[in-house]
Structures are given as structure tokens and as C-alpha cells.
């Protein structure tokens, strides 16, 4: 939140509206450009803003450097997830995935290079796409979201090759297990499912909420975030943030966090996690204790 | 004397010494006619020179004799006496001679004198004659010169030239044969002709004079006719007033207004002209009038000398009074303040009539020393309004026109030069006086054509018609929408205070048929209270909660759940939406900082307000927002996932039709209502 002083500038209709929009804005996704100089962020109004990291982090950064270089309306609905390939920025939200060229994105009036909609079963409501996952070995993109399926799309041809069904409620997050190309998906139904990409079948299912140590019924059973390190997996959400050993499908460590987790990543040997409604990024070691917190 | 003596002596013949005078007289009488011895004749005969010699001889003899006498007398003797006697007789003879000579001399003298006298007289007479003649000569000479110099009047007359004369004059006058030779005749002829011409011209002149008289008389008659017309026209005008009113063309009234308008100060005049023009051209519901005392306005406009004298006098007086009465310094400052804030006696009243017969009365004043315009506003409605408690400030004259344009709060003077003037008399800001003087909004200055640049104070800011004209339409429209929206709010507040959210029929489609949550409370709160609430910090930090806004608190309830909503109402409602901040008390306190769904609910009313505006002029915005909040609370409570660990049924069974309960990484509830299908979905 900006620490703005009481504005003396008279606020007309547009200024008030913009201020209100900013107050109610949520940024759902972000992605760094392949060159590392730019950061793309997607918000709940469907806009994507490109920030210049090099300008904002330089020593002569002014207020204007912290504003986006360009902002454009990418989707009609919120932009729930974004990934970057080496040339494209892929954004997905309200049922469609669009691709933008990083080289062109800074110009005004940038148009998407292509857009794709996975084949959905229902037509009453367009399901959202909550997670995008790049599988570099196969050069394909995995989408998962509101229709409880994982769709795999070939990035060369743009066709949807597989649809992996199994979740009973919508999917929140995806993670890639690199060694054996497997995709983990966590969803609203409280289960983490592992999918084998070659056979397109569900390999393993972990129903997190059924484990008493980590379940927190008052929060629900949904799995909001997943991270995997091939052998290990961390997931959290409604249930507590837990570290699982994948082979044995047993929870090993439960991290003592109260709030439901939204994001988690492995970093070297540490687990970094943040909740959506606090200003802290907690850093844990594998042994389960909170080493320290990064705070906004 | 000599003449008398000569006359006496004439008759005398012999004379001697000592003869008695009677004897002389007798002789003179008797011998007057007889022998007449003229000694004068003797004079002419004798020779004066010989007489002179005789005289000298006689004197000598006398001297000699005397001397002898003396000798003899001195010697004495007898024969001396005879000698003396002899000599005495001789000397007597000599004396007699001497006397004769003396007489002769006298006679000669007399004669000589007479002759001289005569000659002189003659000479005098001639001289006199000469002078007379000379005088006459001179006189005649003068006359001659005069005559020679005499210029006859005829030479002063510019006569026509000879050629013209011969051309124009009739022959009986010009008589060419005679006049050619004789210049005298020629001149005479010319003079004749001149006379002739002059007579003719005099005739013409008389004719013209009489013509002129006639025409003057005609003019007089016509003037009288015209002057008699004026009162008749006036009476016709009077008679036509009812017709004017009937036809809604009040020319007379307008004319009177224009007369009064001449005395308005320039900014008010610009305002008056532009407002009248706008009213006539575009907007029949606008009426303009001038109020105030014209005489006072005229009295203000004194000639500069007088006013300077007055100033210097009053300054002198003031100085004196300060010396005499020190305690009145404060009073003096007060007077100076009053003087500085003085209003022009004339003011312009503009009435804006709205569709529902409510009228906005605006009175514009001009502060002469500060060169700014102020306005006082009043709203009157067709029917008497019962003011609900929370609507107190909506239509108050102080705030009804606040922030007509963003940021124009009308508490500060727009003229930068006024700050220096204020410093002199100790006025901090105009805010203290606005209740009395009216608000100096920026749009009022623009309507009066006064443009104050923000940076430097300008000494003379003149009223500009083009500035006024360009702002007139927008401002009038804004004023109307302002009044109407306030009145609409007024009505709505009355309903809200009773717990009913008045949703009009054309906005029903925005909401489902069944709404269970109810509005329980609607009160107004003050700005400070709003700032104190713990869930309004975001709005305050974003600068959206200034002191020109109005603040309210609403309470919506369903079952055990209580939703508190703090509302910021911007004066620019309804183009600027009201802003809601929510706090839900149900199973704990949930605000936008700890529950994303509350945040989503706020977003539904704050950001997506455009759907809730309703038909223009979007007066339904606030009520629709409140209704939507009730619907959102319903959805929130019914879609709350049931906690399996807790015993008992859900407090709020789900009645709303929702496709999905959660969506997206933030697991939002379905707050969007779809019409006409009637189900809830996500945005």
C-alpha cells in the first residue's frame, strides 16, 4: 500500500475511480522477462502491467521508475497465471490463454500473438485457468483450472493434446516433477494428484485433508499451493503447510503457520512461503522451523 | 502825465519859478482861444542837437555862476550881494532856459513816443492781419488736403470687374458708348449696376427669410406632434403589459432590468448578460433579476477628485481620532475589515427551476475591494420538505454547492492579491466570513469573467465575456444536476432512516427477488468519527476522505450477522460514487484486511458502481448500492462453507442459485448476480 499523504489535488470522477480501482486491485500473477529486465504483473481486472526492473532497481530510480512502463487490457477477466517462455509471455485467466511477444510487448497497442481456449465441457460458465505450467522437454503447456481438468497444449502447433481428468473440484496449482516428467496438481477437492505425462494417467493421489496432523477443517480442505523438488513436495492451503515425501506419500514436516498459504517455493534447501493476507514471506528450513521472515 | 502837463502848459506863455498856481490857471483859461503858442510846432523847428548843446552850455553857466555865487558868499561883502543878485538873475534865466529845454525835451519825447506808438499800432494791425491771413491760408490748405484726401465710399465697394460689368449689366445702365470714354461715367454706371444688383439680392434675401420662417413654423408644428406622441406610446406600452405577460415576452421588464444593469460592476454585469443570454437561448427555466439599491450604486460612483478629497479628509480625521481616543484601535481595525469586505449594493439573482418544481435560488454578490464574486444559495421545493435527521447537511446553503467542480470548496478567496490586503487588516482567511458574504467558488468567478492565474497576483483582473460564456452552460447543468441529486437523496434518506431501501422499479432487475438482509440503521457521522474507524484506513490514506465529504454509517443485519458500512458521500454525487467500507461481525470480525471476500464485496459496490447507476440521471446509485450490499451479505452468509467439526446445521441455508461456490486462487464467492437467469456467478 502506498504511503500517500492526504492528496491536495482535487479529485474528479476519473481520479476517484482510479483510486478505487487501485484499492480493490489484486495482483494474481507475475512473470519475469527472459532477459531479466522486465516484470509482467497481471491483476484481477484483466490488465497486465510491465515494469522495468532495471530502472526501478537502479540507483537513480525515481517515483516514475516504479510505475509500469506500459499497461494494457489483456483479458476480460482476472489474469490468474502467467509464465514466460524464452520469447513469449503466456497469460491465462478467464478460460483463455494468450501469448504475447516480449519483444513487442512494450509497444502501445500490443496484440496477442495467439490465443487458445481448451475444449471445455460446460458452456454455461467459462471456467477460469488458475495455473500454467511449462514442460520444456515436450515444449508443451499445461493448463489447469475451473473445469477440474488438466489440459496439455503443444506450443508448436497450438493443439490440445491431452486432457487429464481426475479432480472433483477445480484445480488451484500445478507443479512439475522434472525427473520423471510428472505433473502435480492440487485442487479445491483437497487432493494432490500426480500425473504421468507419457501415459496421461493419474499416478498418485494424496488426500491431504484426510491426514489429521495437517488438516484444518475450519479452513477447508483446499490445496492452494504446491512446490516440488522431485522427491519432496510442500503443499498448503486449507490444511497446514506440510512437507511430504513423495515416494511414501507421508507427511514429514508440518510448518506452523496459522493462515492458509497461497504461495510456496523451494529454494535450494529452503522453503519460502507466503500467505495472501499477511505481509511476510516466511523462510523455513527443511527441518521444519521457521528460520526468519522477510517482511514487506 | 506828459500829455496832461502839455495840455496845461499849452496855454502858458511864460513861466517862472514860484509863480502861484492860480495865476497859471487863469492864464490857461483866458488864453485858450486866443493866442496859442504851440510849443509843439517849436519843437519841430528846433534842432535837437543844438538844444542839447544849449543845455550843456546852460548847465556849465549855471555851474559857473553857482561857483561864483559861492565864492562871493564865502568872501562876503557888499557888492557881493549885487553880484550875487546879478548872478542869481542870470542863473534864474538859465533855470528858465533849462526848464524850456526840459519842456522841449519832454515834448519831443512825447512826440516821439506818440509816433512810435502809432507806428507800432499800425504794425500790430498789419501783423494781426497777416496772422489772420496766414491762419486762413492754413485752414484752406487743410481743407484742400482734406478734400484731396477724401475717399468716396464708392471706392470701398468691390465692384465687379469691368469685363463682367459689361457682360452682365443691362445696356441702359452700362451705357457702353458713354462710359467707355469717360471714367467718371463708367464708375457711375458701375455703381448703378451695383445698386441694381444689391436691390435684387435684397429682394431675394427677404424672400428667403420669409421662406425660412414658414419652414420653422412647420417644424414647430411637427415637433409638437411628435412630443404629443411620446405619452401616447407610453400609455400603449402600459396597456400592452398584460399582453406581454400573457405571451411570456416581458419586454418592458427586460428593459427596466437593462437600465438597472448599467449600474452593475463589471463582473456582475458580465454574469448578468451571459446568464440572460443563456436563459433566452438555451434554457427557459433560468430567470435572472437584479436586486439592490440603484441609488446606492450611483452614489458609489463619485468623481475621482471628490473621493480623493474625502479620503484625505477622512485620513486626517482618522489620525486625529487615533490621537485623541486610543482605545478604539480595535474598533478601527474592525471598521477597516468591514470596509475591505464591503459588498456592492447591487446583486444578481439567478433562479434555476428544475423539473420537479424545485427552485435553486442563487444570489451573486461582488466584493468591491477584493474584486471577487461570491454566491449564496437556497433551495426551495414545491412542497414543504420534512428533513430526515441524516439529511441535515444535504441542502444546507453552506454546503449544497460545495465542490461543484472537483476541489472547489469555496472557503478560500480565489484572488491571490487578496492575501496582501488581508494581511493589512488582520484577516486570516475568508472562511470565517463566508456564511455572511457567500462562497467565492471558482466557477462563480469564471461566470463573472474573472480569471485569476494561480501563481502571481494580478492587479487588474478585468471581467471577460468569453470566459463567462464558455463556462455558463456546463455550470448551469451542473447546478441543476446537483440540486436534483440532493433532493433525490433527501427523499431517499427519509426512507432509509425507516429501514427501507427504496429501489425503483426500473432498477429491480439488478437484484434477485428475495433479499433477506435488512437495513437496520442509517445515520450521519462526522468526518472525525469516520477517520477513527479502524476499517477505513485505506480510504483515508488514498486521500478520498476529505473534509468536504459527507459521512454516513449503515447497518445491515441478518440473523446474528451484522454488517457495518461506512459511507463517504462526495459532494459530486452522483457522478462520483459513494465509497463503502465494510466490517462484518459474524463468527469474528471480518474486514477487507483479513477477508478477501469482504474486499470483493466492497469492490462490487465501489468499483462496479456503473452497473448500479440506473437510468439517468442516476439518482438511484446510493440506494442500489445499499441493496446490493444486502444481496452480497446474503450470498456471503449462505455460501460460507460448513465447518464439519462444528455441530449443528448451517445458520443460513443456501437459497441462492450459484454455479460454483469458489473460483480462482483467491476462492471468491459468487457475488455477481445474473439477470434474468437469476443465478450468481463470479466476475
Instruction: Return per-residue pLDDT of chain A as tens, 296 residues.
Output: 333 334 445 567 888 888 888 888 888 888 888 888 888 888 888 888 888 888 777 777 677 777 788 888 888 888 888 888 888 888 988 888 888 888 888 777 778 888 888 888 776 778 888 888 888 888 888 888 888 888 888 888 888 888 888 888 888 888 888 777 788 888 888 888 888 888 888 888 888 888 877 787 777 788 888 888 777 888 888 888 888 887 777 777 777 766 666 777 766 666 666 665 555 566 666 555 666 665 55
Q: Write b or e for each residue in B615-626: b if 16 or more Cβ atoms lie within 10 A of its Cβ, otherwise e.
A: eeebbbbbbbbb
CB pairs under 8 A between A and B: 103
**Which residues on chain B are in Cβ contact (under 8 Å) with A16?**
544, 570, 576-577, 579
By C-alpha distance, the chain A residue nearest B546 is A6
Domain count, chain B: 4
Question: A83: domain CATH number?
Answer: 2.40.10.480
Give yes or no: residues B404 and B523 share one domain.
no
Task: Name which of A146, A217, A220 is nearest B663 (Cβ-Cβ).
Answer: A146
Q: Give me the residue label for grid cell 437600465.
A: B259
Residue A187's Cβ-side half-sphere holds a number of Cα atoms within 13 Å equal to: 24
Taking the whole predicted model, whether its pTM rises above 0.95 is answered as no
Q: Do residue B634 and residue B661 come from a single domain?
A: yes
Residues B50 and B62 in one domain: yes
Distance CA A171, CA A187 (A): 4
Q: Say which DSSP state A90 is in.
A: E
Same domain for B468 and B340? yes
Question: Could you tell me which of B560, B519, B333 has the C-alpha nearest to residue B424?
Answer: B333
The mean per-residue pLDDT over the stretch B99-111 comes to: 86
Question: Dihedral through CA B646, CA B647, CA B652, CA B657, nearest 10?
Answer: 80
Same domain flag for B141 and B274: no
Residue B609 has pLDDT above 90, yes or no: no
Residue A287 lies in a domain: no
Q: Does residue B19 register a pLDDT over 50?
A: no
| Residue B117 pLDDT exceeds 90 | yes
Contact across the interface for B538 and A1, Cβ inside 8 Å: yes
Structural domain contains residue A275 = no
**Alpha-helix runs per DSSP H in chain A:** 13-23, 53-57
Answer whether residue B312 is part of any domain. Answer: no
Instruction: Give the domain extent around A58.
Output: 26-110
Let me know if residue B545 belongs to a domain.
Answer: yes
Please judge whether A20 and B544 are an interchain contact, meaning their C-beta atoms are less than 8 angstroms apart: yes
Residues of A in contact with B663 (CB under 8 A): 128, 146, 170
Whether residue B626 sits in one domain with residue B504: yes
Backbone angles phi, psi at B412, to 5 degrees: -125, 150
What is the rounded distance in angstroms from the CA atom of residue A234 to the CA atom of residue A243? 4
Rounded to whole angstroms, the Cα distance separating A130 from A187 reads 10
> Structurally, how many domains does chain A consist of?
1
Q: Which chain B residues in 590-619 lie under 8 Å from chain A, judged by CB atoms?
A: 593-596, 599, 602-603, 606-607
Whether residue A101 is contained in a domain is answered as yes
Chain A residues in contact with B659 by the CB 8 A cut-off are 124-125
Residues B281 and B363 both lie in one domain: yes
What domain range is B665 assigned to?
A: 499-642+649-681
Residue B614 in any domain: the answer is yes
User: Are B122 and B217 members of one domain?
Assistant: no
Residues B462 and B557 in one domain: no
Q: Quick one: which of B627, B546, B623, B635 has its CA closest to B597?
A: B635
Q: Is residue B133 part of a domain?
A: yes
Starting at the earlier edge strand, list the strands of the sheet with A201-207: A171-177, A182-187, A191-196, A201-207
ipTM value for the complex: 0.82
Nearest residue in B to A187, CA atom: B665
Whether residue A73 lies inside any domain: the answer is: yes
Indicate if B79 and B192 belong to the same structural domain.
Answer: no
Query: Does residue B617 have a cis bond before it (omega within 30 degrees)?
Result: yes
Residue B507 resides in a domain:
yes
The span from the CA of A10 to the CA of B440, in Å, is: 17
Which letter does DSSP use for residue B460 in this model?
Answer: -
**Residues ≥6 apart with Cβ < 8 Å to A76:** A46, A93, A94
Within a domain: B6? no
In a domain, B229, yes or no: yes
Chain A touched by B411 (CB under 8 Å): no
The answer to whether position A67 is within a domain reads yes
Instruction: For residue B321, tell me if it sits in a domain.
Output: no
Q: How far is CA A279 from the centre of its chain?
A: 18
Mean pLDDT calculated for residue range B606-623: 83
pLDDT, tens digit, 9 for 90 and up, residues B343-398: 888 888 888 888 777 888 888 888 888 888 888 888 888 777 777 777 777 777 77
Query: Would the CB atoms of B407 and A10 count as touching at under 8 Å?
Result: yes
Taking an 8 Å cut-off on Cβ atoms, the answer to whether B662 and A22 are in contact is no
End-to-end Cα, chain A, rounded Å: 10
B391 and B526 co-located in one domain: no
Query: Any chain A CB within 8 A of the CB of B19?
Result: no
Tell which of B102, B122, B146 closes a domain: B146
Q: Clarify whether residues B582 and B610 are in a common domain.
A: yes
The string of pLDDT tens digits covering residues B407-444 is 788 788 888 888 888 888 777 777 777 778 888 888 88
Say if CB A207 and CB A216 are below 8 A apart. no
Minimal CA–CA distance to B191: which of A20, B199, B7?
B199
Query: For the segment B356-371, what is each residue's pLDDT rounded down to a tens digit?
Result: 778 888 888 888 888 8
Amino acid at each position: 500500500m502506498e504511503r500517500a499523504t492526504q492528496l491536495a489535488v482535487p479529485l474528479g470522477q476519473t481520479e476517484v475511480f482510479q483510486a478505487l480501482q487501485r484499492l480493490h486491485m489484486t495482483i494474481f500473477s507475475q512473470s519475469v522477462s527472459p532477459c531479466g529486465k522486465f516484470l509482467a504483473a497481471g491483476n484481477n481486472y484483466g490488465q497486465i502491467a510491465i515494469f522495468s526492473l532495471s530502472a526501478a532497481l537502479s540507483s537513480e530510480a525515481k517515483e516514475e521508475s516504479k510505475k509500469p512502463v506500459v499497461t494494457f487490457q489483456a483479458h476480460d477477466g482476472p489474469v490468474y497465471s502467467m509464465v514466460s517462455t524464452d520469447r513469449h509471455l503466456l497469460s491465462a485467466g478467464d478460460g483463455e490463454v494468450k501469448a504475447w511477444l516480449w519483444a513487442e510487448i512494450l509497444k502501445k497497442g500490443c496484440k496477442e500473438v495467439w490465443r487458445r481456449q481448451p475444449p471445455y465441457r460446460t458452456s454455461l460458465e467459462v471456467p477460469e485457468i488458475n495455473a500454467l505450467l511449462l514442460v520444456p522437454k515436450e515444449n508443451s503447456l499445461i493448463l489447469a483450472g475451473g473445469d477440474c481438468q488438466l489440459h496439455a497444449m503443444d506450443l508448436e502447433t497450438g493443439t490440445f493434446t491431452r486432457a487429464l481428468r481426475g479432480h472433483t473440484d477445480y484445480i488451484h496449482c500445478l507443479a512439475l516433477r522434472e525427473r520423471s516428467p510428472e505433473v502435480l496438481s492440487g485442487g479445491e477437492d483437497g487432493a494432490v494428484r500426480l500425473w504421468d505425462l507419457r501415459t496421461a494417467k493419474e499416478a498418485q493421489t494424496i488426500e491431504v485433508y484426510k491426514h489429521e496432523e495437517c488438516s484444518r477443517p475450519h479452513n477447508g480442505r483446499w490445496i492452494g499451493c504446491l512446490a516440488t523438488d522431485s522427491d519432496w513436495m510442500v503443499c498448503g492451503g486449507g490444511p497446514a503447510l506440510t512437507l511430504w515425501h513423495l515416494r511414501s506419500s507421508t507427511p514429514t514436516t508440518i510448518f506452523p503457520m496459522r493462515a492458509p498459504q497461497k504461495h510456496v517455493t523451494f529454494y535450494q534447501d529452503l522453503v519460502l512461503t507466503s500467505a495472501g493476507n499477511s505481509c511476510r514471506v516466511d523462510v523455513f528450513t527443511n527441518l521444519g522451523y521457521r528460520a526468519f521472515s522477510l517482511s514487506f | 502825465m506828459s500829455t496832461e502837463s502839455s495840455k496845461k502848459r499849452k496855454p502858458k506863455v511864460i513861466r517862472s519859478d514860484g509863480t502861484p498856481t492860480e495865476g497859471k490857471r487863469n492864464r490857461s483859461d483866458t488864453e485858450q482861444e486866443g493866442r496859442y503858442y504851440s510849443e509843439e510846432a517849436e519843437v519841430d523847428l528846433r534842432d535837437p542837437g543844438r538844444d542839447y548843446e544849449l543845455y550843456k552850455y546852460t548847465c556849465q553857466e549855471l555851474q559857473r555862476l553857482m561857483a561864483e555865487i559861492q565864492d562871493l558868499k564865502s568872501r562876503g561883502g557888499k557888492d557881493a550881494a549885487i553880484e550875487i543878485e546879478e548872478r542869481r538873475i542870470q542863473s534864474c534865466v538859465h533855470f528858465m532856459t533849462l526848464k524850456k529845454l526840459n519842456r522841449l525835451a519832454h515834448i519831443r519825447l512825447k512826440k516821439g513816443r506818440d509816433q512810435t506808438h502809432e507806428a507800432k499800432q499800425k504794425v500790430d494791425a498789419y501783423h494781426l492781419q497777416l496772422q489772420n491771413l496766414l491762419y486762413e491760408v492754413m485752414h484752406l490748405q487743410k481743407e484742400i488736403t482734406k478734400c484731396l484726401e477724401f475717399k468716396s465710399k464708392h471706392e470701398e465697394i468691390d465692384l465687379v470687374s469691368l469685363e463682367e460689368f459689361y457682360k452682365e449689366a443691362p445696356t441702359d445702365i452700362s451705357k457702353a458708348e458713354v462710359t467707355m470714354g469717360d471714367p467718371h461715367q463708367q464708375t457711375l454706371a458701375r455703381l448703378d449696376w451695383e445698386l441694381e444688383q444689391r436691390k435684387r439680392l435684397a429682394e431675394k434675401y427677404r424672400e428667403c427669410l420669409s421662406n425660412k420662417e414658414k419652414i420653422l413654423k412647420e417644424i414647430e408644428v411637427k415637433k409638437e406632434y411628435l412630443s404629443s406622441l411620446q405619452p401616447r406610446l407610453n400609455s400603449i406600452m402600459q396597456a400592452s403589459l398584460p399582453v406581454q405577460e400573457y405571451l411570456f415576452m416581458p419586454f418592458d421588464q427586460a428593459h427596466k432590468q437593462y437600465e438597472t444593469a448599467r449600474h452593475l460592476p463589471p463582473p456582475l454585469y458580465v454574469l448578468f448578460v451571459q446568464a440572460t443570454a443563456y436563459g433566452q437561448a438555451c434554457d427557459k427555466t433560468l430567470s435572472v433579476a437584479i436586486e439592490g439599491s440603484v441609488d446606492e450604486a450611483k452614489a458609489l460612483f463619485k468623481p475621482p477628485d471628490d473621493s480623493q478629497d474625502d479620503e484625505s479628509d477622512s485620513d486626517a480625521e482618522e489620525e486625529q481620532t487615533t490621537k485623541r481616543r486610543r482605545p478604539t484601535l480595535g474598533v478601527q481595525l474592525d471598521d477597516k475589515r468591514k470596509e475591505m469586505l464591503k459588498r456592492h449594493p447591487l446583486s444578481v439573482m439567478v433562479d434555476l427551476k428544475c423539473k420537479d418544481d424545485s427552485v435553486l435560488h442563487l444570489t451573486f454578490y461582488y466584493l468591491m475591494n477584493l474584486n471577487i464574486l461570491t454566491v449564496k444559495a437556497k433551495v426551495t421545493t414545491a412542497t414543504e420538505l420534512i428533513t430526515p435527521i441524516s439529511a441535515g447537511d444535504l441542502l444546507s446553503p453552506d454546503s449544497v454547492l460545495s465542490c461543484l467542480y472537483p476541489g472547489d470548496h469555496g472557503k478560500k478567496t480565489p484572488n491571490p492579491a487578496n492575501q496582501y490586503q488581508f494581511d493589512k487588516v488582520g484577516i486570516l482567511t475568508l472562511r470565517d466570513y463566508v456564511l455572511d458574504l457567500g462562497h467565492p467558488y471558482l466557477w462563480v468567478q469564471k461566470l463573472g469573467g474573472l480569471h485569476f492565474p494561480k501563481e502571481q497576483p494580478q492587479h487588474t483582473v478585468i471581467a471577460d465575456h468569453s470566459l463567462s460564456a464558455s463556462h455558463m452552460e456546463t455550470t448551469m447543468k451542473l447546478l441543476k444536476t446537483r440540486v436534483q441529486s440532493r433532493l433525490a437523496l433527501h427523499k431517499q434518506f427519509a426512507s432509509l432512516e425507516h429501514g427501507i431501501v427504496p429501489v425503483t422499479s426500473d432498477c429491480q432487475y439488478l437484484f434477485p427477488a428475495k433479499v433477506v438482509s435488512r437495513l437496520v440503521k442509517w445515520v450521519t457521522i462526522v468526518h472525525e468519527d469516520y477517520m477513527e474507524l479502524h476499517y477505513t484506513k485505506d480510504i483515508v490514506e488514498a486521500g478520498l476522505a476529505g473534509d468536504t465529504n459527507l459521512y454516513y454509517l449503515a447497518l445491515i443485519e441478518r440473523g446474528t450477522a451484522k454488517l457495518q458500512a461506512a459511507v463517504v458521500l462526495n459532494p459530486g454525487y452522483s457522478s462520483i460514487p459513494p465509497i463503502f467500507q465494510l466490517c462484518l461481525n459474524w463468527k469474528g470480525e471480518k474486514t477487507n484486511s483479513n477477508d478477501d471476500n469482504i474486499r470483493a464485496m466492497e469492490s462490487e459496490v465501489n468499483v462496479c458502481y456503473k452497473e448500479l447507476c440506473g437510468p439517468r440521471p442516476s439518482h438511484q446509485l446510493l440506494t442500489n448500492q445499499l441493496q446490493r450490499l444486502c444481496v452480497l451479505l446474503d450470498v456471503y452468509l449462505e455460501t460460507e462453507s460448513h465447518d464439519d467439526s462444528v455441530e449443528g446445521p448451517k445458520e443460513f441455508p443456501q437459497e441462492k442459485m450459484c454455479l460454483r461456490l469458489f473460483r480462482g486462487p483467491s476462492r471468491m464467492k459468487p457475488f455477481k448476480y445474473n439477470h434474468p437467469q437469476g443465478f450468481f456467478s463470479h466476475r
